[in-house]
Amino acid sequence: MERTEIIRWLRERNPGRLAELWAAADRVRHDHVGDQIYLRGLVEVSSYCRRNCAYCGIRAGNFRVERFRLTADEVLDCAARVADFGCGTVVLQGGEDPKLTVDLVASLVRRIKTEFGLAVTLSFGERPLADFHVLRAAGADRYLLRFETSNPEVYARLHPPHIAGELPRRELLRELHAAGFEVGSGSMIGLPGTSYDDVANDLLDFRELDLDMIGVGPYIPHPETPLGSHPRPLPPNEQVPNDWLTTCTVVALTRLFCPATNIPATTALATLRPDGRELGFRCGANVWMPNFTPPRYRASYEIYPGKAAPTHAELRLHDISEILARLGRTLGRGPGPSPHYLTRSVTANTRASCSECPTSSVATPSIS
Ligand code: 5AD
């Protein structure tokens, strides 16, 4: 698909026309990753963060948010609940908290792997390169680090200057690959200052970065952040909206561009609409990340407003199975790595490209 066609799809507002694109993505999802939906149990380990990302509610400069850090025992209790629930993977996520030392995280990974046999995904932001090797050696399977936007000016505006000696996120993603991780990234849709061209670049970058997992969600303004209070959007016809329709289109295009990857139906999309999760699954997503953070801490991990709404909490397997049945999908068992990763890792460490993912043309319904 040409860039102009991507942009035309991103600008399309007619749900009838978009339904064709979403259906095409759904077919590609069926053919490449099947009908299973895999559950990843999310545990938010710490809301402390040394960074000041302009959009994020747990940025260091937000003094109105209460901070928490789970103890090792609390993390292990959560992992036990994740395993009991039937998830094959636990995702440990947190801010860039200096007290979550690499040794502490590595020991949690080792204990979770031995005690519960879960796949472990980590999402603790940017860390020194050496840490990634320690964590991989401890048994961590996957790492999530979104690049947020492909627009370098917007990226620089939203992320205060880098700490000397540390690599930028995009380079870290390549290093994560080299360390043997299954690598996840993604972007926020509708960040003020981003154009349709930028989102087209996000999509091209997903493929170029050879990602295994891709998370895209709408940007949701947080009032206690600089971006929430001073958004500086582009003029209306140039600014990409942060709405559910555009997000679903990006999810669908992501599936078409990167057919064999794992794509979550994000909580941010579910925050915009009560049926947001289902919409995500209908237009290309195949992963669900239910939240297992102890309820008393959830409100403090408010990276955007509404995230901790009770509708996302306390889901029972029964409720999830019902939603899956309605969608004609089944529950994935086991760790559920992305087929993209499995193909890539056949020739270990050589970064062979995935034979399932197109390198140039992408067949889609024509918009013209
Ligand atoms: N709206 C939507 N998503 C957000 N994130 C952080 N802040 C917001 C926000 N205000 C996303 C970022 C980050 C992930 C953990 O949460 O993409 O990488």
pLDDT in tens, 240-269: 999 999 999 999 999 999 999 999 999 999
- Asked whether residue 360 is assigned to any structural domain, the reply reads no
Q: Is 145 in the pocket of ligand 1 (CB under 6 A)?
A: no
- Asked whether residue 368 is assigned to any structural domain, the reply reads no
User: What pTM value is reported for the model?
Assistant: 0.95
Is it the case that residue 312 has pLDDT exceeding 60? no
The mean pLDDT of 225-232, rounded to a whole number, is 97
- Asked whether residue 363 is assigned to any structural domain, the reply reads no
The string of pLDDT tens digits covering residues 28-56 is 999 999 999 999 999 999 999 999 999 99
Q: Is 227 in the pocket of ligand 1 (CB under 6 A)?
A: no
Expressed in angstroms, the distance from the first to the final Cα of the chain is 12
- Asked whether residue 215 is assigned to any structural domain, the reply reads yes
| Ligand 1 atom closest to Cα of residue 221 | 10
- Asked whether residue 82 is assigned to any structural domain, the reply reads yes
Domain that holds residue 172: 3-354
Using a CB cutoff of 8 Å and minimum separation of 24, what contacts does 321-329 make? 323/277, 323/278, 324/37, 326/278, 327/37, 327/278, 327/281, 327/282, 328/35, 329/35, 329/36, 329/37, 329/281
Query: Over the chain, what is the mean pLDDT?
Result: 92
Distance from residue 348's CA to the centre of ligand 1 (Å): 32
The string of pLDDT tens digits covering residues 94-132 is 999 999 999 999 999 999 999 999 999 999 999 999 999
**Which of 304, 307, 312 to probe ligand 1 with, by most ligand atoms within 8 A of CB?**
304
- Which CATH number fits the domain that encloses residue 63? 3.20.20.70
The dihedral formed by the CA atoms of 276, 280, 283 and 287, expressed in degrees to the nearest 10: -160
Q: Is 268 in the pocket of ligand 1 (CB under 6 A)?
A: yes
- Asked whether residue 299 is assigned to any structural domain, the reply reads yes
- Asked whether residue 129 is assigned to any structural domain, the reply reads yes
What pLDDT score does 71 carry?
98
Number of domains in the chain: 1
Is it the case that residue 351 has pLDDT exceeding 60? no
Q: Is 120 in the pocket of ligand 1 (CB under 6 A)?
A: no
Q: Is 287 in the pocket of ligand 1 (CB under 6 A)?
A: no
- Asked whether residue 364 is assigned to any structural domain, the reply reads no
